[in-house]
A and B are shown apart, each in its own frame.
Chain A
Amino acid sequence: MFSFTKEQKTLEISGVKIGGQPGMYPTVLFGGLFFKGEPDFENAKKHIQNMLSLSKKTGNPGIPDFFIRREEHLESIIDFIEENLPAGYPFSIDIIEPSLKIIALETLHKRKLLHRTIYNSIHIGVTDEEREALQRYTPEMAILVAFNPKDKSSDGKIEVLSNGANLLDKGLIDISKEVGVKKTLVDTAALAPGENSGASIAAIPVVKEEYGLPTGCAVHNVVEKSTWLNEFKTARKTVDVSSNINIPLYGGDFAIYGPIENTDLVFPVIAWEDILVSEYTENYFGVSPVDHHPRRKFF
């Protein structure tokens, strides 16, 4: 538990604040929907309600992260967002293919939703066409995935953010600025076990100290890819959920915690960790938690 010497930015999207010194703001929790591609809207409704309810109870903001894999699902998912999220509530769209990302941006622009959109994500695969689309239809916030295939350590993540690691003409941070995205989060790119998986956690304080940007990761991916855990089937979920504790412990600001089905477990676990961090950072560094911080709710 520590405090950064570099000034830490706090970013806001539709009332949700993210970033700052450890212990100041509660960890923001991204829960994924529609991983399998085919949207199950009925189920999604229940899970989002549950996320909102737990968010209110713990103080940890919950952001639904919508996986969109096929163009034919795009309109219906956006309809769902408009109809089922509270008015003005932020959400993130998680799309891999650049061509679909471009269509999604245009659609979100037409539906006047870009001010609530967290674009997940900008990375080394960004195309010129995607950059043009981002410039034309700029989302309120974007996640930069600091994956560097040449160097999976914290240094490699800084390299790809700052200069593109000779895979891009410039670093991801400059690209996001160039296209006009004013609010960026850094995802430290969790990798499978054996692929320097710990680096995504170790990189959190490194990135925050370097740039002062809100930083986090999807560390649950490490657990998901573990074959070793097959030996401990009943422990898998516990390990998956608890792996997210590393993020606030290392000064991180958000956790992309995987399937929204894990909400019931993730929110109290992270709220608990946020309380521990806040108790120390307030006492030692004088960092006071905000009013909706879990520590204010439970103590």
Chain B
Amino acid sequence: MKKIVKTTVIGSYPVHINNMELMRKYFNQTEISWEKYIKKAVEDMVNAGIDLISDGQTRDPFVKIFFRKLKGCRIRDRAEVIDKVEHVEPITVEDQKYVKTLLPKDRELIGLITGPYTLTKTCVDLFYNDEKQLAFDFADALRKEAKMLQKHVHMIGIDEPFFSISMPEYAHELIEKIIKGLSCPIRLHVCGDVSSIIPMLLEIPVNVLSHEFKASPHLFKIFKEYSFNQQICLGSVRSDKLQVESVKEIINHIEKGIETFDGRISQIAPDCGLRLLPRDVAFQKLKNLVKAKESIMVW
């Protein structure tokens, strides 16, 4: 366990955005930079001792980051698709380059992509009237982003929370479209209760499967029924509860994971993005996660 398990995050991290400061820059017509917010998120993750760090997705909720820059999409009161979806510029790459300048040498970077099915399900389609075609066009655009991203990150995480609500029969094909030919390892994160879709998830050729094992501990039992090749990212603290799990509680949880998955656990993370928690709570959860992992490593 000592050599392969990394503490990591799923994606988002809560950072207070100083709106008045943004307005002062507007009034003075000076350039606005988001780097200070990215830096705050990354510094918290570094200071908490997290091994595999994200940019914190501070700019926007995880779906909006992509809608904002994909051609064919627009965000008004809601995200809408109004034309053919195309990747016309890097979406997350510049932020990852910046994060790399902040990371100590012993830390790694995970680049995050919101999955095509989740994008499809969270927008209003005013153009395609064909959910599958829209999903595949999103996948095609995201493949271009992933190709650019892989040069700058150690791993790519694809977040597909909507698979747990309604996994389409083409899910495998959709994810494969993004990752085919990529050289860096891929993690697929599907939060929510995935108990009914585990066989389908296990068919997807990613390196790591990531789920909410803390909020859905019954998943341990169900996963035991299957044999598979993927590594596991073990959700170990709640991302929807203010209560900070104690180190002991996290250790107990990880032990359950070890019982189920044995050497397949390669990452320990919160159940999901931490965006909705207060910053001090999120930080403490990450710190305890790291302490729990370190305790287990001592064993």
Contact = CB atoms under 8 A, between A and B. Distances in A.
B68 to A, nearest CB: 6
A63 B19 CA distance: 28
A156 interface: yes
A98 B20 CA distance: 9
B74 A155 contact: yes
A159 B80 CA distance: 12
Contact of B77 (A124, A126, A158, A225): A158
Contacts of B22: 124-125, 147, 149, 167
Q: What interface size band does chain A fall in?
A: 20 to 34
Contacts of A126: 19
A158 B75 CA distance: 9
B75 A151 contact: yes
Contacts of A159: 75-77
* Secondary structure class of chain B's binding surface, majority of residues: mixed
Given A96-B24, A166-B61, A191-B29, A150 B68 contact: yes
A124 B75 contact: no
A167 B17 contact: yes
Contact of A151 (B19, B20, B24, B68): B68
A96 B76 contact: no
B177 interface: no
A148 to B, nearest CB: 9
A136 to B, nearest CB: 21
A192 interface: yes
B23 interface: yes
Contacts, number: 58
A149 B76 CA distance: 14
Contacts of A221: 29
Interface in A179-205: 189, 191-192, 195
B59 interface: yes
Nearest to B61: A166
Interface string A212-244: 000000000100010000000000000000000
B59 A150 contact: yes
Interface string B153-167: 000000000000000
Contacts of A225: 29
Given A155-B76, A166-B61, A191-B29, A125 B20 contact: yes
Interface in A132-170: 145, 147, 149-151, 155-156, 158-159, 162-163, 166-168
Interface string A91-106: 0000010100000000
A155 B75 CA distance: 6
Q: Which 7 pairs from chain A and chain B are nearest by CB?
A: A125-B23, A125-B20, A162-B77, A158-B76, A192-B29, A124-B19, A155-B74
Given A150-B59, A163-B77, A189-B26, 5 more contacts: A96-B27, A125-B19, A149-B22, A151-B75, A167-B22
Interface of B: 17, 19-20, 22-27, 29, 32, 59-61, 64, 68, 74-77
